[in-house]
Chain A
Amino acid sequence: MMRRVKSFDSAALIQKEKFRKFLENFESDLLRGIAKLCLLRVIKQYGAEGIYGYQILKELEQATENKLVIEEGTLYPMLKKLENWGTGDYKLQLVQSTRKKVGGRTRNYYAISEDGLRIYNHLEGFFTSMINSISTLLDYQVILDEKSFAYCPNCSNKILLDVDMISICEICGLNIESIRDRRLEDD
């Protein structure tokens, strides 16, 4: 992130406070949503077993080659929000935490909930579709795993292509039989 970028020349753009500030703010806005998506992804990978906070940070740093770094102080409030999002009738629990003793240490382990999994699939699909759409604009190519996944044309929900797959998109209810069948035919 810009905060960690060193400047090597006094005339470099990031030496000026206003440019650095703008770039830091912009990165912060952009990464706020991406960080949540990546957190859910890491937690999802550990299934019912769950993963604790420090481990989540290490996984993220490793997987993103230190590009996506969530600060220690920000991680736990973020996890708390994922565990308890919204208010009143609009409450959602995307992750669940359990205190477990593993290897002599008691820690809070986070596992993705059913709602969390559904939301994650949609968010991942949406994000992937978005990146794919803007790829030509930004001069890079996105290679989607079209053999394993399809994306709902209505809401971009990521759908696992499977023989036993349901025929209705879980997020928006669109009938996706034709998409599924077409993909399977292509295979």
Chain B
Amino acid sequence: MTNQNNQNTKLLTEYLKEVQKKLPEWLKDNKEEVNNILAELEEHILDQACEISGTDIPDLDSLQQAIEKMGSPEKVTSGYKQRGTPKYFITEELWSIYAKTLIFVNVMLFVIITTVLIIFSSPDDLVEMLIQNSGGLYAQVTSVSLFITAIYVYLSKEGYLLENICDEKKKTDEFDETSLKSKSTFYNPQDLLRDAFSSGFFGCLFVIQRFFTFTNVTTTEMQTWLFLLGVIILFDSFLKLLKLRNNITVHQILEIIYLITNIPVIGLLVILASNPGMVFSVSIHIPTTFVPYICYLFILVIIMDGFYTIYKIYQKQKQKQHELAGEIESLKKPIRL
């Protein structure tokens, strides 16, 4: 009987773990709600299994049938993602913030590019200059808009609403060693999205500039340098979006990848420090003696950030071990009937 109970518990627990994994990310941060949902599913499966077996203690076969009747974890959790009123691919609820983000970012882009052009080109005719560089401007606006749209389509598909993105609660990634409890396991979605958007914005800017020479301000080598940096920054913004997934192991892997991407950044900074003359073209007479110092400063910041990242990985490992210990305890409990 005890053996059967253990088998039943294991089967049910594994199923519920799968369901928990598939729940939408915005819901996972609310542990109480998640526990409520899982407890409800557990009770339902047990009731169903008892009905199938015709006894108060269902056998493994009945439990299996009840779980099959409930449906796959993907099917069970898909209902929780169906939030918001569909409007094209982005829900109506997210539409206004999506539109505002698009307008704000593109206006910023236009202002930054125009400012750079005015400072370094000193054009006689601003409109003429903008027309000449319209190809580049168009490419920048399109790439950034596509990036933002892709993010919002993903958020709509996962059932995020405004309240999940603009959560006022300030969350930190801290782990309290004394109580072994996390003050918060995961990042605030608003912070992640803001960081991802700003990284993505500059990443697109640096990448696209390589194909559309706005001005003869920088050398070809510097344009390539910016392009490579832009690719790394875009990749970094993608990593930030992946952190929306509320999973400690995923976060650990992302932190490790982030550490690795810092290596080429350090390499690029060393190259720039060794060749400060490549920043500006010969027609621009701006001294570049300060460039190596800025590069070394950034390298120092990256190294310190790297140590902090290693510390975060270590903290998350401790947290994982603590949660695993908690799960083993719950597995030992028999099914309540």
Contact = CB atoms under 8 A, between A and B. Distances in A.
A16 interface: no
Contacts of A106: 39, 43, 336
Contact of A87 (B36, B93, B336): B93
A73 B163 contact: no
Contacts of A108: 36, 39-40, 43
Given A52-B43, A88-B162, A105-B43, A77 B48 contact: no
Contact of A77 (B47, B69, B79, B162): B79
B161 interface: yes
B215 interface: no
Interface in B37-94: 37, 39-41, 43-44, 47-48, 69-71, 75-76, 78-80, 82-83, 93
Contacts of A78: 79
B163 A88 contact: yes
B67 to A, nearest CB: 10
Given A54-B48, A71-B71, A87-B93, A76 B43 contact: no
A73 B79 contact: yes
A54 B47 CA distance: 7
A76 B37 contact: yes
A187 interface: no
A109 B164 CA distance: 27
Contacts of A36: none
A73 B162 contact: no
A80 interface: yes
Contacts of B78: 73
A185 B153 CA distance: 59
B162 A76 contact: no
B41 A76 contact: yes
Given A72-B71, A87-B161, A77 B43 contact: no
A57 to B, nearest CB: 8
Nearest to A79: B40
Contacts of A104: 336
Given A71-B71, A72-B69, A105-B336, A53 B44 contact: yes
Contacts of B75: 73
Nearest to A72: B70
Interface in A77-100: 77-78, 80-81, 87-88, 99
Given A74-B79, A77-B82, A87 B162 contact: yes
Contacts of B82: 77
Given A72-B69, A73-B70, A87-B162, A54 B79 contact: no
Contacts of B41: 76
A53 B71 contact: no
A118 interface: no
Interface in B1-44: 36-37, 39-41, 43-44
A107 B32 CA distance: 15
Nearest to A54: B47
Contacts of A74: 79
Contacts of B336: 104-106
Interface in A111-151: none
Contacts of A52: 43
Nearest to B81: A77
Contacts of A73: 70-71, 75-76, 78-79
Contacts of B163: 87-88
Contact of A54 (B36, B44, B76, B162): B44
A138 to B, nearest CB: 30
B56 to A, nearest CB: 10
Contacts of B44: 53-54, 72, 76
A4 to B, nearest CB: 13
Interface of B: 36-37, 39-41, 43-44, 47-48, 69-71, 75-76, 78-80, 82-83, 93, 161-163, 336
28 contacts: A53-B40, A53-B43, A54-B44, A54-B47, A71-B71, A72-B44, A72-B48, A72-B69, A72-B70, A73-B70, A73-B71, A73-B75, A73-B76, A73-B78, A73-B79, A76-B37, A76-B40, A76-B76, A77-B79, A77-B80, A77-B82, A80-B80, A87-B162, A99-B36, A105-B43, A105-B336, A106-B39, A108-B36
Given A105-B336, A106-B43, 5 more contacts: A53-B43, A54-B47, A73-B70, A87-B161, A105-B43
